[in-house]
């Protein structure tokens, strides 16, 4: 690559700069060497005298092959090693690779020389895979109509079930553990009331479980729980009077002959309303066919309907009009089938007129022309020719007589030949016009020039739907439609009518003015609710000319339910249950038809679940018991901190409307705490190593043993040691902890184990200025002293924010000179402490591209780098300074962050996408407000709390502060995000200690959830110590020694260089 002074480049390809010596037979000797030695360059068995391929080639493996037992390879493992050798090396043809039991590889070349690859380079022991229990699938939980509940456990990977339910007559739930023994047999506690069925399912009898409550089941496989909770709601017995069962949809079929067969439902049906259009009529009728007590159907004598012996009803083809709809509504007393059976009576396929074929003509040698008419579908023939002596053509029409013979006008001069051809004699035809004879065959009004007639496309069926207000909406298809036949029963009428709605040439639909139908602007048609009778069917047949759709569209306009004295209670929707952004349980009640919520969960540290009931008051607010750990949020949702609930247990919520439960319970599994959250492994004393940047396998094993000795780790925990001494501890639940090299290893100086006073090593510094602290790089395996080396998947451009405090003045903002570009580059390097090796490229317009050593790129727009020099070169003007580090709207995001991410720096409602002010702002209160009653603040005390919060915090304009009766504070920022401060941080009685002491002074029940401004994460529990008591002085000196290791290594390297 040639780089010119202006930074432009040229590239010369390798093919033009170097020439690779050719080794045709790949035996390790170039063709030139073989030519000199007189050997065959195409035969790998032929090598120069006294030399061989083994002396030239060095076979190796890119990566050793993992095997189960390096001392005894299986045949498959040997084959894998052989393939790895062949893939890793370009061996001569005919080379043999053999693998021994211990992984030794022998490579025998065609010239019979051989190389050996040692097992250390060919195989390595596969890392044992720890067997983590597989999470069981979700158990199936079903409530029967009788009120019993059946639990079907997962088939595999399950050892026990935690079944939570509320016993009949109890107000609180219980959790019963059902276990499976080694034979796969389930066992329930004798006093639980649960029944183990022979098929392995578990039944909670109806008399053992309370109606309207949730039943939840968590399947477990050892310590691993099913990710989903099985659940159901025990139904509440209906107290409404028995309603007839709606019949199913009747089957209606049109036969090829044009008859229609109706098959009634088998059960729950007393009569059929059959609507059809009689043959010869334009309007439909509805005939009621009834079933008597013996199950026999009867049709009116004059209806034309036939009741068949098998109970089906036939409308004969001669009694029903072609192309019309037949609809059937089944009824069971006053209850109708929700779906309408329908069919379209087929229209016979129209017979298309026959277009005659084109006649043909032949010019004979004597100048005459012979015409051959078509044989069939022809009644006449027009022959156009120019007669002898004329200048204009004439047309002669020939016809057929009764025998089918052609006849020509006597004066036409045309000759009808015995074979049916017609000749124009040469003396009747103007010279030179023989090829201009025009021929048209006729068949009635059709001619051979006409296009072949087409049957119109069958249209798609229209969409028809009954709306909640009782009106009906019809959506015709977009194409291949000219009209729709809409059959319905008008309000107040006993018989239906058919209204034809037509489509004009512009595509607009038109309904008869007196039809009552409404054509909407979007082309749909509406039958208003007051124009159609309740309890009747509406059918639509789409037509394209006379061709109907294959199916009719039909809908049922339900009859209005009879009014009852007992109001119908709506079943509430299932509540929403999820984890919020802070990992807490968030319950969203249904928006309507819910008066209470039953929330069931297991408190932390308990084995017994509880049910807390939230009730909605007259104002629509949810109220919880004072002792509840749940919190009602300002938006009406309810939160429960997961830290207050036992891990691995289920949360369920049932909404109720005056005692009527939701059909389903909302459920969620509280995830068990991961081991890494509970343990914090350490190394009491770092081990001494020869090279802290490259530990040997023995040193790694020593360090692993130390970690296991210094900490009590769960069985199955994996400890891996990186080259630099970083230790990763992977627990059986796959959570991990990391111990940094500064805590695990130190260089051995002046003899193994001898330690020295080392300089302190600043983990917070960024040695190579790549945007990542030394601690981050050490943890993630990148080089703290090399800006090209950054943590995997990250880049300097993500961390470094190039700036320029003083714009360079230039003459032309669209075309910077080389000197001006250099000035811009100098200004940026002066302003920013960039990693060594950073490249800066300034474009003609002043925009800057910064390429960091790791290859990532940052950019500065021209408006931050250059300024137009006005009133002459060098004349500057006082420009207002813009502080990118400031937070103009006080929303928690700097001006620079907002400008980069497209939000408004002057509007606190506008924050970067996916973020919130609550994530950035942490409201505090330095001095608690003294109040008389911690459980009931006065309005004045609440105002004092609000004033204190505003005084102690710089809040965005428009921030709302709400102080509860117990003093807890909810802060709602302009972007809608929320922070909370617990009462103990803002109020106190005169006899209360300072809130900063951490002693709770409030007997109230308000909780602040993890992730809010006032919450703190509990520190990890230390691992149990396994040795004797350590001296604090030794611990501190050990820490100082560890902190200096990396700095010492760097100093040592610099001394060596």
Domain segments of the chain as ranges: 31-125, 140-240+570-672, 251-350+456-557, 360-447, 676-756+1024-1056, 774-800+804-868, 924-997
Q: What is the pLDDT of residue 522?
A: 93
Give me the CATH code for the 676-756+1024-1056 domain, please: 3.10.20.890
> 852 to each of 548, 691, 830, how far by Cα in Å?
72, 30, 16
Q: Which residue has the tokens 């408004």?
A: 904
* Dihedral sign for Cα atoms in the order 514, 515, 520, 523: negative
Quick one: CATH architecture of 924-997?
Answer: Roll (3.10)
Contact predicate 393/436, CB 8 Å: yes
pTM: 0.34
Instruction: Tell me the CATH class for 774-800+804-868.
Output: alpha beta
Q: Who contacts 353 (Cβ-Cβ below 8 Å, separation ≥6)?
A: 443, 444, 446, 453
pLDDT along the chain (1057 residues), means of 10: 66 71 89 90 91 91 89 92 93 94 94 93 76 84 93 94 95 94 92 94 95 94 88 83 84 93 94 94 94 94 94 95 93 89 86 85 91 92 91 92 90 91 91 87 88 82 92 93 94 92 92 93 94 92 89 86 65 90 87 93 89 92 90 90 85 92 90 75 86 89 91 87 91 83 68 40 76 79 80 80 72 84 82 80 88 83 72 38 74 80 81 86 80 87 88 88 90 90 80 40 37 34 39 34 36 39
The DSSP result for 90-124, as a single string, is: -PPTT-EEEE-TTS-EEEE-TTS-EEEE-HHHHEE
Domain 31-125: which CATH number of 1.10.540.10, 3.40.50.720, 3.40.50.170, 3.10.20.890: 3.10.20.890
Gap between the Cα atoms of 140 and 228, Å rounded: 10
926: exposed, middle or buried (C-beta count within 10 Å: 0-12, 13-18, 19+)? exposed
Q: What is the pLDDT of residue 868?
A: 66
Helix-strand-coil split of the chain, %, nearest 5:
15, 25, 60
The two domains 676-756+1024-1056 and 924-997 share their CATH topology (first three levels equal):
yes
Tell which phi-psi region holds residue 779, choosing left (phi > 0), alpha (psi between -120 and 50) or beta.
Answer: alpha
- For residue 447, the cross-strand partners are 442
Q: Which residue has the tokens 């990992």?
A: 583
Q: What is the pLDDT of residue 302?
A: 92
Gap between the Cα atoms of 101 and 81, Å rounded: 11
Q: What is the pLDDT of residue 747?
A: 61
Tell which phi-psi region holds residue 38, choosing left (phi > 0), alpha (psi between -120 and 50) or beta.
Answer: left
Contact predicate 646/622, CB 8 Å: no
């Amino acid at each position: 690559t040639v780089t010119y002074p202006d930074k432009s480049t040229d590239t010369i390809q390798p093919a033009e700069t170097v020439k690779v010596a050719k080794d045709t037979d790949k035996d390790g000797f170039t063709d030139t060497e073989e030519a000199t030695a007189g050997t065959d360059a195409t035969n790998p068995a032929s090598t120069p005298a006294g030399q061989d391929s083994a002396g030239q080639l060095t076979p190796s493996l890119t990566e050793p092959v993992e095997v189960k037992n390096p001392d005894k390879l299986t045949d498959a493992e040997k084959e894998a090693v052989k393939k790895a050798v062949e893939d890793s090396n370009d061996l001569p043809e005919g080379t043999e690779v053999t693998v021994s039991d211990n992984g030794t590889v022998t490579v025998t070349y065609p010239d019979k020389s051989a190389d050996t690859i040692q097992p250390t380079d060919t195989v390595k022991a596969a890392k044992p895979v720890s067997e983590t229990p597989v999470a069981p699938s979700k158990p199936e939980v079903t409530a029967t109509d009788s009120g019993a509940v059946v639990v079907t456990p997962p088939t595999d990977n399950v050892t026990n079930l935690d079944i939570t339910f509320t016993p009949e007559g109890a107000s609180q739930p219980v959790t019963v553990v059902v276990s499976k023994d080694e034979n796969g047999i389930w066992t329930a506690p004798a006093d639980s009331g649960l029944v183990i069925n022979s098929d392995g399912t578990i039944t909670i009898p109806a008399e053992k479980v309370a109606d309207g409550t949730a039943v939840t089941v968590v399947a477990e496989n050892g310590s691993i729980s099913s990710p989903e909770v099985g659940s159901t709601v025990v139904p509440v017995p209906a107290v409404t009077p028995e309603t007839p069962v709606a019949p199913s949809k009747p089957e209606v079929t049109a036969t090829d002959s044009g008859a229609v067969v109706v098959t009634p439902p088998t059960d729950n049906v007393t009569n059929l309303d059959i609507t059809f259009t009689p043959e010869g009529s334009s309007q439909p009728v509805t005939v009621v066919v009834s079933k008597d007590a013996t199950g026999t159907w009867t049709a009116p004598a004059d209806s034309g309907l036939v009741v068949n012996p098998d109970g089906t009803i036939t409308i004969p083809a001669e009694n029903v009009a072609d192309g019309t709809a037949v609809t059937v509504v089944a009824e069971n007393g006053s209850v109708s089938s929700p779906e309408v059976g329908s069919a379209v009576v087929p229209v016979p396929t129209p017979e298309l007129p026959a277009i005659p074929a084109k006649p043909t003509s032949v010019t004979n040698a004597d100048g005459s022309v012979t015409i051959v008419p078509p044989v069939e579908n022809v009644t006449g023939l027009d022959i156009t020719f120019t007669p002898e002596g004329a200048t204009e053509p004439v047309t002669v029409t020939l016809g057929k007589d009764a025998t089918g013979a052609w006849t020509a006008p006597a004066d036409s001069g045309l000759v009808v030949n015995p074979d049916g051809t017609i000749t124009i004699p040469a003396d009747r035809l103007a010279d030179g016009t023989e090829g201009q004879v025009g021929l048209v065959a006729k068949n009635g009004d059709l001619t051979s020039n006409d296009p072949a007639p087409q049957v119109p496309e069958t249209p798609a069926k229209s969409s028809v739907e009954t709306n909640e207000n009782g009106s009906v909406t019809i959506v015709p298809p977009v194409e291949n439609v000219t009209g729709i036949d809409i059959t319905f029963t008008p309000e107040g009428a006993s018989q239906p009518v058919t209204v034809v709605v037509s489509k004009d040439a512009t595509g607009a639909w038109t309904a008869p003015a007196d039809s009552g139908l409404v054509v909407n602007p979007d082309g749909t048609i509406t039958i208003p609710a007051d124009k159609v009778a309740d309890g009747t069917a509406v059918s639509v047949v789409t037509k394209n000319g006379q061709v109907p759709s294959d199916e009719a569209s039909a809908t049922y306009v339900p009859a209005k339910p009879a009014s009852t004295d007992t109001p119908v209670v709506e079943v509430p929707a299932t509540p929403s249950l999820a984890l919020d952004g802070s990992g807490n349980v968030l319950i969203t009640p249904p928006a309507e038809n819910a008066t209470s919520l039953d929330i069931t969960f297991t408190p932390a540290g308990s084995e017994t679940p509880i049910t807390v009931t939230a009730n909605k008051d007259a104002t629509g607010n949810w109220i919880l018991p004072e002792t509840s750990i749940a919190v009602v949020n300002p938006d009406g949702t309810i939160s429960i901190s997961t830290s207050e609930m036992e891990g691995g247990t289920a949360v369920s919520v049932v909404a109720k409307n005056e005692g009527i439960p939701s059909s389903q319970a909302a459920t969620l599994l509280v995830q068990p705490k991961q081991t890494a959250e509970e343990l914090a492994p350490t190394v009491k004393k770092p081990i001494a190593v020869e090279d802290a940047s490259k530990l040997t396998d023995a040193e790694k094993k020593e360090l692993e043993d130390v970690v296991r000795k210094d900490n009590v780790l769960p069985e199955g925990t994996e400890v891996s040691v990186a080259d630099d001494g970083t230790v990763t501890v992977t627990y059986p639940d796959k959570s991990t902890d990391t111990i940094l090299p500064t805590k695990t290893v130190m260089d051995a100086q002046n003899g193994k184990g001898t330690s020295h006073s080392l300089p302190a090593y600043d983990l917070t510094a960024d040695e190579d200025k790549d945007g990542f602290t030394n601690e981050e790089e050490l943890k993630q395996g990148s080089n703290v002293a090399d800006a090209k080396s950054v943590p995997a998947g990250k880049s300097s451009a993500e961390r470094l924010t190039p700036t320029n405090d003083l714009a360079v003045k230039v003459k032309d903002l669209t075309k910077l000179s080389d000197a001006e570009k250099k000035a811009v580059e100098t200004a940026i390097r002066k302003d920013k402490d960039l990693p060594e090796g950073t490249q800066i490229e300034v474009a003609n317009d002043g925009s800057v591209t910064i390429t960091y050593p790791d290859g990532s790129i940052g950019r500065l727009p021209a408006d931050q780098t250059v300024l137009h020099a006005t009133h002459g070169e060098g004349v500057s003007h006082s420009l207002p300074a813009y502080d990118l580090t400031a937070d103009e709207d006080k929303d928690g995001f700097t001006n620079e962050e907002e400008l980069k991410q497209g939000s408004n720096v002057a509007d606190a409602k506008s924050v970067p996408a996916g973020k919130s002010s609550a994530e950035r702002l942490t409201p505090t209160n330095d001095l608690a407000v003294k109040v008389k009653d911690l459980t009931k603040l006065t309005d004045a005390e609440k105002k004092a709390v609000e004033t204190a919060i505003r005084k102690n915090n710089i809040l965005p304009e428009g921030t709302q502060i709400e102080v509860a009766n117990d003093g807890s504070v909810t802060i709602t920022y302009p972007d809608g995000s929320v922070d909370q401060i617990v009462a103990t941080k803002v109020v106190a009685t005169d006899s209360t200690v300072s809130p900063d002491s951490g002693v709770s002074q409030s007997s109230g029940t308000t909780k602040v959830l993890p992730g809010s401004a006032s919450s703190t994460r509990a520190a990890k529990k230390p691992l149990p110590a396994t040795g004797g008591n350590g001296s604090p002085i030794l611990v501190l000196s050990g820490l100082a020694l560890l902190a200096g290791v990396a700095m010492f290594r760097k100093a040592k390297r610099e001394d060596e260089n």
